[in-house]
Structure 1
Amino acid sequence: MPPAVRPRSALCALVTTVAAALAATPVPATPALAHDATALRFGACPASMPVPPAPDRVECGSLDVPLNWSESQGKRIRVAVSRVPASGAPGERRGVLLVNPGGPGGPGLSYAVTKRVKLPESVRRAYDVIGFDPRGTGQSAPAGCGPMGGLFESPGPEPVPAGRRAEEAYLDSLGRMADDCAADVGDALPHLSTTATARDMDAIRAALGEERIGFLGVSYGSYLGAAYAALFPRHVGRMVLDSVVGPWDWYDFDLRQSRALLRRREVFFAWAAGHEKHFGLGGSAAEVRDAYERTRHGLASRPQDGFGAAEFDRAVYRALGRTERWAGLADGLRAYLHDGGTALLRPKDAFDSAASRTYEAANRTVKCADGPGPSPARVVADLRRVRRLDPQPVLTGMEASVCAYWHHRPAHRTPLGSPEAPPVLLVASEHDPVTPVEGARQLARRLPGSRLVTLHDDYSHGVFASRGNACVDGVAAAYLVGGTIPAADVHCAGPGLPTP
């Protein structure tokens, strides 16, 4: 039987409808961003914005939108927007391409610059690339959840509960996290949702004077794009959904991801064993697993400068998603077992930074605003099932577990896809552990006429204009620029596992 749980607030239905107008009420100016209450005008960007390579330029602005889209005359928030204009001649222009880097919780203002650099030249010439911070992130009414139930403690508590007492402590931390988010986010809690962000996207479209928008969404961005297609199918231009989140409840998605991570970790163990002379972790997958478990056990019992089991699991989660990080993880295991050092295991970006705190808060807030959460009893039952698959799973991505205690639990799921939307292009890596390929196959069924481009023999998250695969990039560019939708699903040869 699962442990006893704490009572929580009653369910509260979240109802959103299309707002009748985008008229803005005056709000104080933000010095870093150019702003007009009734239009999206561009000017200087914040100093933190990356500078695009010459002769490109980036410009920034902001747009007021309702916090609650069913109350257009109520409180408003400001959405930060950026633009890198198309570099081609006027006759080459195809419109605007909104881009989203994923999350939920990831800011996207600078993504217009960083992603555009990687796009095929024909796409850069054809589109104004538009970045934006989704509500709850970056400079768009950033979410905050204070201590988040101890998430930012250093070292953090053991993230994989084993035994009844540990399970009770785990549930209690989820309850405290939900309380912290409710206290800090306040009335905005139900309105930092994917559906609301999709409506913000359409406000950006209208402010730019575009009949339709192109869209490139990666990871969570694919979920956001599918939500936009459900709400505004006639405003969808050419849409590429890369590394696709499947059309499941967030908690169900998190579970699928946790199982995919276990499978990919086994591939990592075998890969490191195959390069035993390079890494020195053993010549079999079992020996590498033993080195991995000795490292984790050592850090759990004796954290090094705030780096313990929770921090190790976060580093593993990050590394498993991109094969170019595998060598760094293997080197980190070897270094720790040799002299106890953790420098090679620590990510360069600090987890407890202000940006990280906003990301983690927005991530939970969006996931729990998007649909019903699990019961505490189910959370415990699923933890036990995952541990039966492997006693030492990586649960870092199980963010939606907190929705079991959320203070505003919506009764309805986020609608995704529409038969009225034009065909879109979906892209997936065959062995991506972060967004398993089955999600792309499932979502494609909700977007009739759409095509799936699969990069086979690839194990990384993020494909188009990311993996450097000419097949994938060529198909996507032909679709975005020429509107060419393939006659059937496309299969591209991938790079295989890396050589250290």
Structure 2
Amino acid sequence: MPPAVRPGRSVLCAATALTAAFATLAPAPPARAAQAAPALRFGACPDSVPAPPAPDRVECGALDVPLDWSEPHGKRIRIAVSRVPASGTPAERRGALLVNPGGPGGSGLPYAVTKRAKLPESVRRAYDVIGFDPRGTRHSAPADCGPMGGLFDSPAADPVPVGAAAESAYLDSLDRMADDCAAGVGEALPHLSTTATARDMDAIRAALGERRTHFLGVSYGSYLGAAYAHRFPHRVGRMVLDSVVGPWSWYDFDVRQSRELLRQRAVFFAWTARHASRFGLGDDPADVRDAYERTRRGLGESPQHGFGAAEFDRAVYRALGRTERWEPLADGIRTYLRDGDVTGLRPSEPHDSPESRTFEAANRTVKCADGPGPTPDRILADIRATRRADPLPVLTGMEASTCAYWHHEPAARTPLGSPEAPPVLLVASAHDPVTPIEGARQLAHRLPGSRLITLHDDYSHGVFASRGNACVDETTAAYLVDGTVPDQPVHCTGPGLPEPTP
């Protein structure tokens, strides 16, 4: 049954479902025209896309692309696209700015509206902002891995294995997850990759009639942008890569992130202790850690309405990436210890919602299509090493561990960057635990002439048009609108740690 549609909106969907809903938006071209660049025709949007403030408008369409780009006349899938037109005069217009919110697995269709609302006015006036759901996500041939080895069990098993039996069960769950993805995703398994999405981006550029791809990619979006720059360096326009994923394998990235989360969590404990009168968890970081451990242990032993240790770790993982989430986390721990109530720790969107299921499936499918996975022995060795550093790590972000058992292992990693690409602007928070700043420094070497903007004394993920920092936003806007590339790396003063509400 198709989802409900508000008046004046159309439903976007994968090529295999509800195809008729696209009949007036983006008819599939005949096979002989597979290499052509059909124009994108826009109409109304699905409910998942919010309406922008008047007088702006958002419109949606779709583009058919090959499932396998090496077989342009073969099976095709449909990529959902959204657009908020530039608000300035024709003389102010600079082109189309494609945006990606991260993941892999994040839906970009609504992002054209939500991110555009935060962009500096000069950027909004200069660019049509283009969102799209990358292949495998939401409305673009969504990946479906079914039960994913028990990932959506509630409460789930403790995600930190201790001892031989738990380690064996941990590896078994990864093996079952890989089997579930192979069964659910089927023939698309090797084709839901970053490289293929980069080619989809260029097809969107061509369908829009643009000579260059201007791009703003956040988190995984930075990895996607770097992949585009490798394959299409001469079509890169102005590109901003924010909260940069480094040029490592996905598994190496996940391991680095898990270690950075330990550092960030220690900062959270110290911050909470400094505000002991507000949170009541103790005035020493060791006291706060003890409260944290008692919460996790209690939930592991006696889950509350399906909320156990694994669910707690997911909440912690999400909170550590943005300092504005620290206060709710500390309040949630206090409330649980005082009342046994986990309401303050639960996410607003259930982990097993349809959107979350698609995200989790696309995340693993893309990561495992992007390069060879680790061996099971290495996974266990890294978990043991992390536990030696801290006996209670947060392993929620270790998605690429599944790739050890993947049914289609690519021969090489996704290539990133090119010396032939024009200067790119990289943006990073100095203490971001989700995408450590070393990734931006290393990727810069693969994009000669690029410049790095560092937001110092900041501990959050997502910087440009996100942290409200004038230094970052004005420098980036000047680059996007006027093409101004800083002579040197840019250093901006961040906000420091937040003050909690009374």
**Fold match by TM threshold 0.5:** yes
Letter in 2 for 1:233: P
Corresponding letter in the other structure for 1:52: P
SS in 2 for 1:377: helix
After superposition, what is the alpha-carbon deviation per residue over 1:322-380, rounded to whole angstroms, capped at 9, x for unaligned?
00000000001100110111000111111110000000000000000000100011001
| 1:284 Cα deviation from its structure 2 partner | 0.4
Q: Which amino acid aligns with 1:101?
A: P
Match of 1:405 in 2: 405
> What SS does the corresponding residue of 1:29 show, helix, strand or coil?
helix
Superimposed CA distance per residue, residues 109-166 of structure 1 (whole angstroms, 9 cap, x where no aligned partner): 0100000000000000000000000000011000000000000000011100000000
**Quick check: 1:105 aligned with 2:105?**
yes
Q: Is the 1:160–1:393 contact (alpha carbons within 8 Å) kept by the matching residues of 2?
A: yes
**SS in structure 2 of the partner of residue 92 of structure 1:** coil
Q: Which amino acid aligns with 2:452?
A: L
1:223-242, aligned counterparts within 5 Å?
223-242=223-242
Aligned twin of 2:204: 204
Shift of 1:36: 3.2
Is residue 304 from structure 1 mapped to residue 337 from structure 2 by the alignment?
Answer: no
Match of 2:449 in 1: 449
Q: Structure 2 stretches of 5 or more lacking a match?
A: 1-14, 29-37
Question: Structure 1 residues 146 and 287 mapped into 2: Cα distance closer, same or farther (>3 Å)?
Answer: same
Alignment of 1:310-459 (within 5 A): 310-459=310-459
What residue in structure 2 maps to residue 468 of structure 1?
468
Give yes or no for contact 2:22–2:62 (8 Å, CA) kept in 1.
no
CA contact (8 A) 1:32 1:45 kept: no
What corresponds to 1:183 in structure 2? 183
Which residue identity is paired with 2:255?
A: L
Q: Distance in 2 between the 1:33 and 1:414 partners?
A: 36
Contact 2:99 2:112 in 1 (8 A): yes
Alpha-carbon distance between aligned partners in 1 of 2:165 and 2:354, rounded to the nearest angstrom: 32
Who is 1:75 aligned against? Answer: 75
Query: What is the CA distance between 1:213 and its match in structure 2?
Result: 1.3
Matched AA of 2:403: C
Aligned residue for 2:344, secondary structure, equals: coil
- How many residues are paired up? 476
- Secondary structure of the residue aligned to 2:452 is strand
Q: Distance in 2 between the 1:354 and 1:398 partners?
A: 21
Cα deviation code 1:177-206 (max 9, x no counterpart): 000000000000000000000000000001
Matched, 1:122 2:122: yes
Task: State the alpha-carbon separation in 2 of the partners of residues 343 and 155 from structure 1.
Answer: 15
TM-score when scaled to structure 1? Answer: 0.94
Report the alpha carbon displacement of residue 389 of structure 1 after superposing the two structures with TM. Answer: 0.5
CA distance in 1, matches of 2:494, 2:339: 37
What residue is the counterpart of 1:290 in the other structure? 290
1:87-125 per-position Cα deviation (integer Å, ceiling 9, x unaligned): 000000000100000000001001000000000000000
Secondary structure of 2:77's counterpart equals strand
* 1:103 counterpart letter in structure 2: G
The CA distance in 2 between the partners of 1:346 and 1:284, in whole Å, is: 26
The 2-side partners of 1:309 and 1:35 are apart by: 46
Counterpart AA for 2:344: L
- Alpha-carbon separation, structure 2, partners of 1:484 and 1:162: 53
Q: Matched residues, percent identical?
A: 78
What TM-score, normalized to structure 2?
0.94
Q: Which moved more, 1:27-36 or 1:132-141?
A: 27-36
What displacement does 1:33 show? 7.7
Aligned-pair Cα RMSD in Å: 1.2
> What does the per-residue CA deviation read over 1:202-242, in whole Å, with 9 as the maximum and x for residues that have no partner?
00001111110110000000000000000000100000000
Residues 199 and 228, structure 1, Cα contact 8 Å, conserved in 2: yes
Q: Which residue of 2 aligns with 1:165?
A: 165
For the pair 1:29 / 2:23, whether they are aligned, the reply is no
Equivalent pair of 2:244/2:427 in contact (CA under 8 Å): yes
User: In the alignment, what sits opposite 2:31?
Assistant: none
Partner SS for 2:21: coil
Where does residue 492 of structure 1 map in the other structure?
492
Amino acid of the residue matched to residue 113 of structure 2? V
Is contact 2:39-2:209 (8 Å) kept? no
CA contact (8 A) 1:61 1:81 kept: yes
Secondary structure at 2:499's aligned position in 1? coil
Structure 2 Cα separation of the partners of residues 205 and 99 of structure 1: 12
- Maintained 8 Å contact 1:323/1:460: yes
Cross-structure match for 1:20:
none
Amino acid at match of 2:273: A
Mapped partners of 1:456, 1:347: distance in 2: 29
Paired with 2:26 and 2:62, the residues of 1 have a C-alpha distance of: 5
Give the 3-state SS of the residue equivalent to 2:317 in structure 1.
helix
Partner of 2:88: 88
Asked if structure 1 preserves the Cα contact closer than 8 Å seen for 2:456 and 2:492, the reply is yes
| CA distances 1:422-444 after superposition (whole Å, capped 9, x unpaired) | 00000000000000000000000
Structure 1 pair 121/327, CA: closer, same or farther in 2 (3 Å)?
Answer: same
- Counterpart CA distance in 1 for 2:96 and 2:426 is 19
Q: Which has the higher contact order (CA 8 A, sep 6+)?
A: 1
In 2, Cα distance between equivalents of 1:390 and 1:236: 43
Q: 1:35 is aligned with what amino acid?
A: A
Amino acid at match of 2:208: L
Paired with 2:337 and 2:148, the residues of 1 have a C-alpha distance of 32
Determine if contact 1:426/1:453 at 8 Å carries over to the other structure: yes
* 3-state SS in 2 of match to 1:207: helix
Secondary structure of the corresponding residue to residue 130 of structure 1: strand
Question: Which residue number corresponds to residue 11 of structure 2?
Answer: none
Q: Which residue of 2 aligns with 1:265?
A: 265
**Residues 29, 35 of structure 1: 8 Å contact kept:** no
Structure 1 counterpart of 2:285, which letter?
A
Q: CA deviation at 1:32?
A: 9.3
Residues 237-264 of structure 1: per-residue CA shift (max 9 Å, x gap): 0000000000000000000000000000
2:117 match: secondary structure: helix
How many angstroms apart in 1 are the aligned matches of 2:22 and 2:251? 39
Deviation at 1:451, TM superposition (A): 0.2
The question of whether the paired residues in 1 share the 8 Å contact of 2:215 and 2:225 is answered with yes
- Contact 2:371–2:413 (8 Å) recurs in 1: yes
Q: Distance in 2 between matches of 1:48 and 1:292?
A: 36
Moved >3 Å (runs of 4+): none
- Shift, 1:31, TM fit: 4.7
What's the counterpart of residue 278 of structure 1? 278
2: CA distance, partners of 1:49 / 1:225 = 23
